[in-house]
Structure 1
Amino acid sequence: MKTKVAIVGAGPSGLLLGHLLRAEGIDCVVVERQSRDYVLGRIRAGVLETITTDLMTRLGVDARLKAEGLIEGGFNLASTNHIVRIDIAALTGKHVTVYGQTEVTRDLMDAAPDRGLPIVFEAKDVALHDVDGAAPSLTYSKDGETHRIEADFIAGCDGFHGPSRKAIPAHAVREYEREYPFGWLGILADVPPCHPELIYANTDRGFALASMRSATRSRYYIQVPLTDRVEDWSEDRLWDELAARFDPISDNGVTRGPALEMSIAPLRSYVFETMRHGRLFLAGDSAHIVPPTGAKGLNLAASDVAYLSDALIAHYARGDDRGLEQYQAKALARIWKAERFSWFLTKLMHRFPEDGAFEHRMQTAELDYVASSEAMQTAIAENYVGLPL
């Protein structure tokens, strides 16, 4: 098979890129190693910046987003007994939308056949070839046969563990990483949220997050040591812990219900600065990971795709390669600012095992300053809603 752009990965970044290219008549194909059901079964973030919702609107795949998404004009930072609302609508004139990443992925998948976007699911043993030459290609196996796709360009949108980043030779690699000494234990349940807006809480019992996927579905997290396993936590134990942290500060208190999903996710900050090597371009989690504290992962992937799609469209429409040449620098400038904000919120809201009484008092002082300073609240709000492209 021959195509103009071969896209590795059928998560939101790969699907968004494919749709944006097809909308301009550019041939592309998406290759995904997992099944459709597996991809749609992954539980991910649910806070969308306008960058992401604008792309969905531009593509005309925003009907469910508009019908089911929750418009949020603020969020909350809390200590044990005090809650500070960050009024992002008043401070920035913008908002965020609560709509699950799984639903974004579903909308893009469902629209693919009518838009002429082919997706190859269950493509095993994906390998990239000659990415620094004039004729890159990728191979994969499916149904006992080996297949080859020859392309002008390859877009690696295959996440942190995918093969695209690994195709870049060691001498060209520039990467930075910070692993955090804890993870997030999360529970998803069909229960009403404890509060009208998200709460990030730094309590005497540790960090916790109260969020929602809809008016009837809630997503909660608590900070746990990396040594903890999901099996160590019964549902009752987790609900008890959530109630202890959120009942004193939330409007409605925690409502309990059967878990639809429970999992523990480690936290890391990671940037792979080599986002272009020859005719291979990286986007999304293949190039960067942020702690979920700032709700930036999916939205950073969307901004990568906005830059990359514009660059590829300019290449094919006008023979203009400036966007391709500038892609890495433009994407990294925004990535590092989002990494900074996620790192800042993570440091502010979590209890680090090496910290003592002084560090805890500094966190308290910082939260007190946020509560009293409109300038500080504005800076937080501007980063939370998303910096401009």
Structure 2
Amino acid sequence: MNIGREILDKLNVLSKISEPSKGVTRLYLTKEYLEARNIIENWMKEAGLTTRIDGVGNLIGEYKSNNAEAKTLVMGSHQDSIEDGGKFDGILGVILPIVCIKNLLKEYRELNCNIKIISFAYEEGTTYGAACLTSKAVAGTFKEHLLELEYKGKKLKEAMKEYGFNPQKIDECKMKKEDIDTFLEVHIEQGPVLEYENLPVGIVTAIQSCNRYLVKIKGQAGHSGTIPMKLRKDAGAAMAEIIYKSTKLAEELGEMVLTFGKISVTPGAVNVIPGEAEFTIDIRAMKNTILVDTIEKIENIIKEIVERKGMSYSIQMTNEITETACSLSVMEALEKSFMRQNIPVFKLPSGAGHDAQEMANIAEMGMLFVRCVDGISHNPIEDVREKDLDIAGNIIMDYIYNF
């Protein structure tokens, strides 16, 4: 069955729902979030699903089997994007299962399993810093302190209230373990491995750890022309030295990747020495112990540089996700679907974090990766081949039918 075209067409529609940018900018708790959610909800209903919105804004579509002994398969991914991102990241894992269910019910009328498809409202961490916030709510791992996170001077709890969500009732979003047997997420690989292997899809074995931090340095602003270099308390220069030395450390140690994705200085004027600097740290590895050891070394670098320059600093962890192994039973079932569809079985780990990591707290968890062109993601030119979408869709339909 050729469903790749239908999946691609729907993704193209959603890619136009974006703040003005070269790529896709569709953030949590914005008019773009609501517009996309409404369109996806209509597609869920057309596919034969009943729908509801939970207390953090996730859209959930449900199919109830007539089989009294039916197990429950939950699928999904996120509808939000980074700023100026691609049109496949996350949203593919929402649209592909909707199209699969639509075509399965059209052909067979009934399924032997219960289905839930979740369009998670906020995964990226672009605005409030912490990732997977709305899947944390579903998995029961959401912590109250996350409500205090800020974006553009507004706390998360305040923004939620503006969109009609009660931050005091997040616990009600939690899915009971008895209501879910397996969680399966389809996602673009976001890397070059499948492209290198010339394979359309792959089975994910594990998702690596990811910790994020916010660092603030307090120096002293001053005139750029009147203060000698040796007498300055330049927060911007301190930040630059920290980034350089930490990056060199990561290169020497290996086994992890380190990114300083957001940097800023205050007041940010051409003729003023920066009095304050702020930057983020994103560090990832397949073992959490590596992250703990590395961030300790990085904090020592920060401490030495800041104190040497007579300044002060603070460091706050904004996100913590430990490495998560995919379920062997889910991987084995996917292997069988690969073989029935005559697709070579290939397995690989995930370097990116996903909602599936949170859902693994309450269910058997698996992931299917779809090749992305040239391994490019988090980029406006992110792309996926229609034939790969078709192969992925047929594998998922086979998996659902045999669940």
TM over 0.5: no
Q: TM-score, normalized by length of structure 1?
A: 0.30
Using CA pairs under 8 Å that are at least 6 residues apart, name the structure with larger relative contact order, 1 or 2. Answer: 2
Larger Rg: 2
The structure carrying a bigger strand percent of its residues is 1
Give the TM-score normalised by the residue count of structure 2. 0.29
